[in-house]
Amino acid sequence: MPLSTSSNFARPDDAFRAVVEAHRGLSEAESADLDAALVLVLANHIGDIEVLREAIALAKRRMLDADQQQQQQQQ
Amino acid sequence: MPHSKVQFGYRRHPDQDRPAATPAEHAVVVVGAGPVGLSLAIDLAQRGQKVVLLDDADRIGEGSRAICFSKRALEYWDRLGVADRMVEKGVVWSVGRIFHGASLLYQFNLLPEEGHKRPAFINLQQYYAEAYLVDRIAQLPDVDLRWRNKVSALERRNDYVALTIDTPEGPYKLHAQYLIACDGARSSLRQMVGAEFSGQVFEDQFLIADVKMTAAFPTERWFWFDPPFHAGRSALLHKQPDDVWRIDLQLSPDADPAVEKKPENVAPRIARMLGHENFDFEWISLYKFQCRRMDRFLHGRVIFAGDSAHQVSPFGARGANSGLEDAENIAWKLDRVLRGTSPESLLETYDTERSAAADENIRESTRATDFMAPVTSQEARLRKAVLSLARETEFGKRMVNGGRLSLPSVYETPLSTADTDNWRGGPRPGTSMPDAPVSDRTGNPMFLTEAFMRKGTRFTLLTFGNGKVVDAPEGLGTIRVGGEDGLIDASGLAGQRYDAEGGATYLLRPDGYVAARFRHPTRPAIEAALARACGLN
């Protein structure tokens, strides 16, 4: 099964909000700890190494693109 | 060390009196009398080859070094006639426990089922293993073991290797059709053929201490992350024979080896771990890990096996055990090539099969070492997450990596014949034969691995069920389970482990690996699979 990138939540804002609120009041380091644990929990729930690799590739690609855009805007 | 010699004398050999222009010629010369070289020499001799075994020292190495010998290694040693002694002396274990801080995270059992002749692991000091192998060699006139014979030069020719060997009485020359280099991680033969040995060096240092004491710890492998007695690092505790305990402590990358190694500095660490000071040191060693391999294990007629070919970190017991798997893999192939019953290209499959095994061992031991000594802060963060999740989730426990222990390699190999029948289980081609309890016609209990051994450790057909007796090609061993005259599978375990309900015939290689399997074997199908497994097509 390929990585699903269609919108899977009936209320996507709730999902985004849930993650944002989980980080409220945390220091940078605590936030990073939370993310690390969350990634592992969710990765195991998916339980498909190919989907995980696709997800990593997508996240990495967008992260690099986002960095470049930011740099271009600053120039 | 009781009952076994550890010091051996140099003895002059008539080969040394030959004129330099006409040196003695030998079929096989093995260099290095460690566990791998000794086992290989025994295997070749049992197959009828004469072997010259050279070692530059005159005694068995000091220190317990490799202590964990796997089920697969023991099954190999069974065939070499030494396993009983190893198991009798060794500490048998199958359970590992992993702790985080002071509390148990999880435990695993490496052999949770009954009906195997050999246990998952034994712990045995390497010097005992070597001594028993040397004792076995003394019973084999075809192995010519020469101590204090150091290869100082080699020249590779088309159909032989020319060796110069230094001895206490000066150098002499030898010609070998094949030279097997089992001379360890610092192999001088590897340097002589000019081969690269590249890979990853780990910065963290580890301290190994063998401690003599009487203690009531169970015979299990205990591993700690961040133990109370050694904050922020890892530790390992293992029992060896003679009330000796192996303790492995991770140190910081910048620890000074000379200082750390001093007994007066090691003692307080161990005392904190044990909670008392009633112990003596047998051996202390400090080291860094490397995971690396040669690109190719075959260099013309020079063949590399064991640590000379590949090196791993010790967490996983993949060093000596994989070296022994190398030996069992090359021995039967070299024997066939020397007899002219298989082409020289059969040796290529040693490189194919054992290279893949080396890659797997390096991958596994690198992952374990990275988990124990995270390199970046994010790696450390992910590890922290795994360790904390492991307290309440099963998936977290399974992700904790305190060393994944050696299992027999599975080969994707041109020697295997792909399945054409339907199988729900059983060992697929390229897998080593599983053991199972059976009994002979008179009711004497035995094991399948023993039946294989009694057939002479050659190509063997293992047939289950009541079907017609397979018309086996000449020279093949045959083992029959079930039927009117076969071995009795009273527990049904043999049939289960080989998915034999619908009838099953397995073609086993001389190293006990499955080459092919059939539900309804025919003579032509068996012959084709046999030819393929012998490298004849």
Judging contacts by C-beta atoms under 8 Å, the chain A residues touching residue B387 are: none
Work out the percent of chain B whose per-residue pLDDT is above 70: 98
Question: How near does any CA of chain A get to the CA of B381, in Å?
Answer: 6
Over residues B343-367, mean pLDDT: 96
CATH topology of domain B23-91+110-198+291-363: FAD/NAD(P)-binding domain (3.50.50)
B232: left (phi over 0), alpha (psi -120 to 50) or beta: left
pLDDT digits over A15-24, tens only? 999 999 999 9
Report yes or no: A64 at the B interface, CB cutoff 8 Å.
no
DSSP code at position B537: -
| Interatomic CA distance for residues B414 and B371, integer angstroms | 35
C-alpha distance from A13 to closest chain B C-alpha (Å): 27
Cα dist from B228 to B21, B245, B315, B374, whole Å: 67, 19, 21, 19
pLDDT given for residue B396 in this prediction: 96
Q: What's the CA gap between B55 and B403, in Å, rounded?
A: 32
Contact B395 A33 (CB under 8 A): no
Q: Residue B396 and residue A32: Cβ atoms within 8 Å?
A: no
What is the per-residue pLDDT for A67?
A: 78
Name A48's bridge partners: none
pLDDT per residue as tens digits for the range B160-219 = 999 999 999 999 999 999 999 999 999 999 999 999 999 988 888 899 999 999 888 889
Do B23-91+110-198+291-363 and B418-533 fold alike per CATH?
no
Q: What are phi and psi of B44, to 5 degrees?
A: -60, -40
Kindly write down the DSSP assignment for every residue of B153-180, as one continuous string: EEEE-SS-EEEEEE-TT--EEEEEEEEE
Note whether A33 contacts B382, CB cutoff 8 Å.
no
Dig out the tokens for A40 from the structure: 């592992």
Nearest to B351 by CA among B406, B292, B291, B411: B411
What residues contact residue B174 under an 8 Å CB cut-off, 6+ apart? B15, B23, B24, B25, B26, B29, B52, B162, B163, B165
Architecture of the domain spanning B418-533? 3-Layer(aba) Sandwich (3.40)
B1, pLDDT greater than 50: no
For the cut 70, the answer to whether the pLDDT of residue B4 exceeds it is no
Residue B468 confidence (pLDDT): 65
Q: How many CB atoms lie within 10 A of CB A75?
A: 4
The band of B96, judged by pLDDT with boundaries at 50, 70 and 90, is very high
| Contact status, residue B12 vs residue B169, Cβ threshold 8 Å | yes
Domain limits of chain B? 23-91+110-198+291-363, 418-533
Which residues of A are less than 8 Å from B374 in CB distance? none
Task: Using an 8 Å CB-CB cutoff, list chain A residues near B395.
Answer: 44
Residue B220 tokens, joined: 């299990």
pLDDT at B252 over 50: yes
Contact B378 A32 (CB under 8 A): yes
Mean pLDDT (chain B) is 94
User: What does the pLDDT look like over B256-290, one tens digit per residue?
Assistant: 888 988 999 999 989 998 889 999 999 998 888 88
| C-beta atoms of A33 and B396 within 8 A | no
List all residues of chain A from 3 to 62 with a beta carbon under 8 Å from chain B: 32-33, 36-37, 40-41, 44
User: Which residue, among A39, A41, A45, would best test binding to B if mutated, counting the most B CBs under 10 Å from its CB?
Assistant: A41
| Residues of chain A found within 8 Å of residue B380, distances taken between Cβ atoms | none
Q: Is B259 exposed, middle or buried (0-12, 13-18, 19+ CB in 10 A)?
A: exposed
Summarize pLDDT for A12-71 with one digit per residue, the tens.
Answer: 999 999 999 999 999 999 999 999 999 999 999 999 999 999 999 999 998 888 777 777
pLDDT value, residue B254: 84
pLDDT of residue B79 exceeding 90: yes
Given an 8 Å threshold on Cβ–Cβ distance, is B381 in contact with A40? no
B348 to chain A, closest Cα gap in Å: 33
- Cβ-based contacts of A36 with chain B (< 8 Å): 378, 381-382, 384-385
Query: What is the nearest CA distance from A36 to chain B, expressed in angstroms?
Result: 6
